[in-house]
Structure 1
Amino acid sequence: MASLAPTAPLPVTLADIEAAAKRIEGQVVRTPTYRSRALSELTGADVWVKLENLQVVAAYKERGALNKLLLMDKGVRERGVIAASAGNHAQAVAYHGKRLGVPVTIVMARGTPTVKVAQTERHGARVILHGELLDEAFAEAQRLREAEGLTFLHPFDEPDVIAGQGTVAVEFLEDAPEIDTLVVPIGGGGLMSGMAIAAKALRPDIEVIGVQAELYPSMYCAVSGKDLPSAGDTIAEGIAVKKPGTLTSAIIRETVDDILLVTEADIEHAVSMFLQLDKTVAEGAGAAGLAAMLAHPERFRGRKVGLVLTGGNIDPRLLATVLLRDLFRTGRMSRLRIQLQDRPGALYSVVRLFERHGVNIIDVVHQRVFTSLPAKDAFIDVDCEARDAAHLEALIAELKAAGFTLHPVDIR
């Protein structure tokens, strides 16, 4: 995918990115980079993580938004700016706009997580909810821009924003110079573009790999020429972009070596692994890089990989759901639907096998009426917790050996 030499000058250079780094220095967090022993053991690679979830608004978006705001003249700032965002760009513009005295209007899709809407409002922005996807919110922001004389601050397809996002790579390679592979989530492509320009300029031999949600492969299609739909309800709403940027597509076509697609289950598993193993919170888009490593282990095994945890703005209820679903997928938890005769002692005969195997029962639902089973039969749904998949399989084998019919509930 990437060319050995660009076919045309890129709209952003390493000099632009280094200038942005100086411009925003001290106004954004220089986030830490660490080697994750747990993730290295899990993936078979040497994994380094940069924690952009530790920015004030819990996402890397502050860098590009601030760089653009600082480059605007006073009159433009005073009239105000408008942006369309899934949440993180919105918070970044609102936060730094308030700091700099710039009136901010944000248009968000109606499905934006409540936590992101509330945090954007908390930073003092006027928030307008419009449409079901970012593209519809984008169109409404453009209408308001013209109607109210505001300046539109694009979330990704803007050279000054791209330059600001590229500062992530400059810091990453300063802190972990041994990295030979960068894995970066792609939505509209602003972060990937800036990081790829900086990384290839500083380390021409480094491999740069982008990651998109399988439901929204828009950049993958733009650079590969394939025609895949971009639609669906994804946990990675921060990278759910139907149409990538014009500038970013051109940059990524020239600088990025590969783009991998990941499923919703891959992303959920990665969110869970970040929390369970490294005790840090990642939103869906923020965990996409790790999702790619877990989904394509042979692609990264033995390499020194840099992951950008791009953001941590995930709704607490959604996070709880993701964690529980991952416990089900990995065999730590399960729901077993067990058919049995509706007679005294039948439930006990099941429960004692759970006790024998040390599998914890969390909940039991006994159903006699709403079932197609014979009137003398019933079924129970048992939610249970085991040490691992093998532990659960041993219990299932004994239940079957005892004559019970099982119907495991599979969420995969």
Structure 2
Amino acid sequence: MLTLQDVLQAREKMKGTVHHTPLEHSQTFSQFSQNEVYMKLENLQKTGSFKVRGSFNKIMTLSEEERKRGVVAASAGNHAQGVAYSSAMIGIPCTIVMPKGAPLSKVQATQGYGAEVVLHGDVFDESLEYALQLQKEREATFVHPFDDLAVIAGQGTIGLEIIEQLPDVDVVLCPVGGGGLLAGLAFTLKQLKPSIQVYGVESSACPGMTEALRQKKPVTIVSADTIADGIAVKKPGGITYQYIEKYVDGVVCVEETEISRTMLYLLERNKLLVEGSGACPLAALLYHKVPFKGKKVVAVLSGGNVDVTLISRIIERGLVESGRFVTFTTIISDKPGQLNKLLRIIAELEANVMSIHHQRIGAKVLPGQAEIHFSLETKNQDHIHRVHQVLINEGYDVEFFQ
């Protein structure tokens, strides 16, 4: 059984190793959601996510003999870096098994903390199976990403910090995948202030905890691809489920478009780079997935490890979803001045042309015509609609893509 003393001891162990992360008030998001919104910035944590808390606490519980034999973990992301960093801090051997297709940046980051990285399997489940095999062969300790009481206690230290930073907090929103963070956070908060409401947030593309609560036990679900890959867990933990069922007030889901828009909001309005899973709690608040207003709400932004190659795609997707970028094609007469006429109309509508592609050959292009492909920077969905209507009124046959 987990106790509050376990969480307090975890905090003592990690002093000087793990950051006490800021709690930042957001006027912008407070106005959007009609609540007083605070953000717990775990994206600024060591290794870029909260995962280092649980992994460090777990490793600190090992005996001297267990430390000599080292630790093994399986991960393609934040858990890998958390375990690697924690192992380096106390100088023990560490092996991380990652899928062969893991992003090079994450492999290099994990190696940079001194871990041995073994690439095995095409998917995480294959990596996990091999990691468990290595753990037995080497008689090492397996560091589970979520379903372990020491890991849960380590994640619960975020709850201690939130209460100290905002004693009159009403609601805390937290991402949930396997459930380690939500279980530890909810348990700790309810011990300190039973009146607090705690909600978990997951992607509707992988609603593992929602289904577990519905069926009253952890089950394996079929999931779709999600931008919130950090919480894309098909089966929540058995231990974490028990604590979540007891201490959490509800679990809600957010859509992919809502996550991507929130990531863009955070980047643009607050200059914060937050990964998809970390943006889920704020997305739930901004898109009114939780039933309250006028409350003091903390959204836990759990991590900021976004692969560099994906940042531009996230920004572009967010711009499209918010109506600030659009593409369309139209056919014009291939005569001098026709393109200039079309450009003048677009300029008068205050849309900014980002790119133009001009071609005279195509299935819909007749001799004497040209097909024009435009990319425009726009203001919002209403602006796109106005551009569309004006072009139709001017006699252009346009096809918009979003």
TM above 0.5, yes or no, is yes
From 239, 262, 277, give the equivalent of 1:285. 277
C-alpha deviation, 1:301, in angstroms: 3.0
**1:393 counterpart residue number:** 385
Return the alpha-carbon distance in structure 2 between the equivalents of residues 337 and 44 of structure 1: 40
Q: How many residues align?
A: 400
Q: Residues 320-369 of structure 1, C-alpha deviation per residue, up to 9 Å, x if partnerless?
A: 11111111221211112223233332212211111222321110112332
Deviation at 1:373, TM superposition (A): 4.1
- Structure 1 counterpart of 2:90: 100
- Give 3-state SS (helix, strand or coil) of 2:355's partner: strand
Is 1:162 the counterpart of 2:147? The answer is no
Range 210-219 or range 293-302, more displaced: 293-302
Q: Does 1:348 align with 2:340?
A: yes
Paired residues of 1:107 and 1:127 also in contact (CA < 8 A): yes
Query: Residues of 1 paired with 2:120 and 2:58: CA distance?
Result: 25
Q: Is the 8 A contact 1:114 1:315 kept in 2?
A: no
Report the AA paired with residue 242 of structure 1: K
| Change beyond 3 A, Cα 1:391–1:211 | same
Q: Quote the offset at 1:393 in angstroms.
A: 3.1
1:214 and 1:261 in contact (8 A); partners too: yes
Residues 331-342 of structure 1 correspond to what in structure 2 (within 5 A)?
Answer: 331-342=323-334
Partner of 2:40: 50
CA distance in 2, matches of 1:125, 1:30: 25
Kindly provide the amino acid, as one letter, of the partner of residue 399 in structure 2.
H
8 A Cα contact 2:204 2:253, kept in partner: yes
SS of the residue corresponding to residue 204 of structure 1 reads coil
> Is the 1:217–1:230 contact (alpha carbons within 8 Å) kept by the matching residues of 2?
no
For residues 182-241 of structure 1, give each alpha carbon's deviation from its aligned partner in whole angstroms, at most 9, with x where no partner exists: 110011100000000001111111111001111211121111118884322222111111
Say if 1:408 and 1:378 are closer, same or farther in 2 by CA, change over 3 A.
same
CA distance, structure 1, for counterparts of residue 76 and residue 294 of structure 2: 35
- 3-state secondary structure, aligned to 2:46: coil
Whole-Å separation in 2 of the counterparts to 1:383 and 1:406: 13
Match of 1:288, SS? helix
TM-superposed deviation, 1:390: 3.3
Could you tell me which runs of 5 or more consecutive residues in structure 2 were left unpaired when the two chains were aligned.
none
Q: CA separation of 1:291/1:111 partners in 2, compared to 1, >3 Å: closer, same or farther? A: farther
- Which amino acid letter does the alignment assign opposite residue 161 of structure 1? V
Matched, 1:201 2:191: yes
Structure 2 CA distance for aligned equivalents of residues 316 and 301 of structure 1: 36
Partners of 2:325 and 2:376 within 8 A in 1: yes
The residue type equivalent to 2:238 in the other structure is T
Is contact 1:86-1:237 (8 Å) kept?
no
2:354 maps to what in 1? 362
Residue type matched to 2:312 in 1?
A
- Structure-to-structure mapping, 1:8-27, within 5 angstroms: 11-27=1-17
Report the residue type matching 2:258 in the other structure. D
In structure 1, the residue matched to 2:308 is 316
CA distance in 2, matches of 1:69, 1:313: 22
Q: Does 1:234 align with 2:226?
A: yes
- Under a length normalisation based on structure 1, what TM-score does the superposition of the two structures give? 0.92
Do 1:293 and 1:299's aligned partners in 2 also have CA atoms closer than 8 Å?
Answer: no
Larger deviation: 155-164 or 51-60?
A: 51-60
Residues of 2 paired with 1:114 and 1:317: CA distance? 10
| Root mean square deviation, CA, Å | 1.8
CA contact (8 A) 2:221 2:235 kept: no
Preserved CA contact (<8 Å) 2:253 2:289 = no
Contact 1:44 1:297 (8 Å CA) reproduced? no
2:121 is paired with a residue of what secondary structure?
A: coil
The secondary structure found in structure 2 opposite 1:299 is coil
1:396: how far off? 2.4
Kindly provide the amino acid, as one letter, of the partner of residue 403 in structure 1: G
Match of 2:59 among 42, 59, 69: 69
Is contact 2:229–2:276 with CA below 8 Å preserved after alignment? yes
Corresponding position of 1:383 = 375
Which deviations, in whole Å up to 9, do the C-alpha atoms of 1:73-129 show, x marking residues without a partner? 111111110011231111111112112111111112344333322211111111123
Evaluate the alpha carbon distance shift between residue 131 and residue 292 of structure 1 in structure 2; reply closer, same or farther with a 3 A threshold. farther
1:35 aligns with 2:25: yes
Cα gap change, 1:255 to 1:209, in 2 (>3 Å): same
Q: Who is 1:6 aligned against?
A: none
Select which of 225, 228, 237 maps to 1:245. Answer: 237
Within-5 A mapping of 1:116-195: 116-195=106-185
Letter in structure 1 aligned against 2:291: R
1:256 corresponds to: 248
Deviations 1:273-331 (A, max 9, x none): 11111111101111111121233356343222111111100012211111111112212
Contact in 2 for aligned 1:64/1:161 (Cα 8 Å): yes
Instruction: Supply the distance in 2 between the matched residues of 1:297 and 1:159 (Cα, whole angstroms).
Output: 30
- The answer on whether the counterparts of 1:134 and 1:241 sit within 8 Å (CA) in structure 2 is no
- SS of the residue corresponding to residue 48 of structure 2 reads coil
CA distance in 1, matches of 2:264, 2:107: 23
CA 1:207–1:127 in 2, change beyond 3 Å: closer, same or farther? same
Q: Distance in 2 between matches of 1:292 and 1:137?
A: 32
Determine whether 1:90 maps to 2:71: no
Q: State which drifts further: 236-245 or 183-192.
A: 236-245
Q: Which amino acid aligns with 2:334?
A: D
Q: 2:227 and 2:117 mapped to 1: Cα distance?
A: 22
For 2:295, the equivalent position in structure 1 comes to: 303
TM-score by length of 2: 0.95
Instruction: Quickly say closer, same or farther: Cα 1:234–1:297, change in 2 above 3 A.
Output: closer
What runs of 5+ residues in structure 1 fail to find an aligned partner?
A: 1-10
